[in-house]
Amino acid sequence: MTDPVPAIELKNICKAYGALRVIDDVSLTIERGVFITLLGPSGCGKSTLLRSIVGLAEPDSGTILVDGKDITNAAAHNRPVKMVFQDYALFPHMTVAQNIGFGCEMQGMEKSAIARRSTELLELIRLPDIANRYPDALSGGQRQRVALARALAPDPAALLLDEPLGALDLKLRQDMQRELKAIQRRTGKTFVFVTHDQQEAMSMSDLVAVMNKGKIEQLDSPENIYANPATLFIADFVGATNLFEATVEAKDGDHLTLSVGDAHWRVPAARVTSHRKPDVGEAVSVVIRPEAFDIGASRRKGDIQLSGRLTDQTYLGDRVHLNVETADEKSLLVDARPPISIGEGAEIRLHCRADNLAIIAGR
């Protein structure tokens, strides 16, 4: 189904500012028509990577291909990939129509064709009546959509969006997430979206590339990123996490026995989600998501059993967030379904399926 020639191919991109390696040997293949998100904390190099692709930053080494063509050394104004900036960067002395038409104008398109294209895009962003307004006279959400239309107008090989929703308030942000996704579907364009908001990344993307310190640590579907984190950083960064320090005691067939404090957990070896598989005696981390826990003792064989004292509960309507302190003073987050008939301060038992966790080599 996907085109054999990828929209964007990055090969071994490196970029350093002084001693700081902002992009550290990044290779990434982005197929056509995909909505991919670069997710990572502030300063991990997301913007620098996008700016490298459009030529606004110059990588120290590596190759960039767009539609199979090497554009590593092409001038920034000649690259077929367009970008949407966080502050929109609309031209305030031009009308909305002129803003949207600017890219086509630069391509030498005829006036009448530019006008037609502008109208077409204004319809796509569902703002057909604002053509002659100036950016000053638009709301934040409207500016955002005009910036999107401006970048789409010259029919780019791919669209790069650098935290385009960062400046919007929560409600508008959620509307725009849906809108962006719909526009991506309708146009079939390749979208490379950048955010440090993991929920945004999860809800919008076909693929998520999690970045940390200039490296892509995992490229996967949102479901896999959440359920099968490849690194401790990802487990911690994406979603809420309970982390247990453990040691591999034994390996038998397709199971591992882990010693966790005083307890021994027998877990499927297939639940090792890190690239490196741990040996016997090696330290590992066990990731259990808050919603993986069920309340009460389990009669199912092989389940992991825990107990502690309920210290705090937050009622959220359809869910209850519990804080449980175990005997060894570990604080657990538990996401349960109401009603919970246990009072704060009381003893509480928890269990979790042995395959509903992730094991990552190292600590």
Partner 1 sequence: MISVAVGLPIAFAVARTSGVMRGLLIALILLPAFLPVVVSAISLRIFIGRIGLETGTAAIAFGHAVGSVPFVVIMVLTRLNTMGRNMADAARNLGADDVIILVRIVLPYLSPALLGAFMFCLLLSFEDFVRSFFLGGFEQTFPVLLFARLRFGFDPGLAAISTLVLIATTGFGLYAERFVRKRSLRSETSLTSGAKND
Residue 76's binding partner among partner 1, Mg ion, ligand ATP, none (Cβ under 5 to 8 angstroms by kind) is: partner 1
- Tokens 């086509």 correspond to 104
Nearer to Mg ion, 47 or 242 (CB): 47
Of 41-49, 133-141, 174-182, 335-343, the segment contacting ligand ATP by CB under 6 A is: 41-49
Among 134, 173, 215, 290, binds partner 1 (CB under 8 A): 134
CA separation for the pair 38, 314 (Å, rounded): 32
Among 25, 105, 236, 335, binds partner 1 (CB under 8 A): 105
Closest approach of partner 1 to the CB of residue 86, in Å: 8
- Considering only residues 289 through 348, tell me which ones interact with partner 1, judged by CB under 8 A: none
- Considering only residues 179 through 198, tell me which ones interact with ligand ATP, judged by CB under 6 A: 196
Q: Tell me how far CA of residue 162 lies from CA of 49, 191, 194, 243, in angstroms.
A: 10, 11, 5, 31
Q: Say how many residues make up the chain.
A: 363
Q: Which helix (H) or strand (E) covers residue 233, if one does? A: helix 232-237
Among 7, 8, 13, 22, binds ligand ATP (CB under 6 A): 22
Peptide linkage before 339 cis (omega within 30 of 0)? yes
Provide the binding-site residues for Mg ion, judged by CB under 5 A: 47
Q: Tell me the number of residues near partner 1 by CB under 8 A.
A: 32
217 binds ligand ATP (CB under 6 A): no
CA atoms within 13 A on the CB side of 256: 29
Closest approach of ligand ATP to the CB of residue 301, in Å: 46
Sheet harboring 61-66: ordered strands across?
20-30, 8-17, 61-66, 69-70
Nearer to partner 1, 140 or 268 (CB): 140
Q: Which residues contact 51 (CB under 8 A, 6 or more apart)?
A: 57, 83
46 binds ligand ATP (CB under 6 A): yes
Among 43, 68, 128, 338, binds ligand ATP (CB under 6 A): 43
150 binds partner 1 (CB under 8 A): yes
- Considering only residues 73 through 102, tell me which ones interact with partner 1, judged by CB under 8 A: 75-79, 82-83, 85-87, 89-95, 98, 101-102
HEC profile of 275-324: CCCCCCCCEEEEEECHHHCEECCCCCCCCEEEEEEEEEEEECCCCEEEEE
Query: Of 83, 164, 90, 87, whose CA–CA distance to 134 is shortest?
Result: 90
The residues that touch ligand ATP, with contacts defined as CB under 6 A, are 17, 22, 40, 42-48, 196
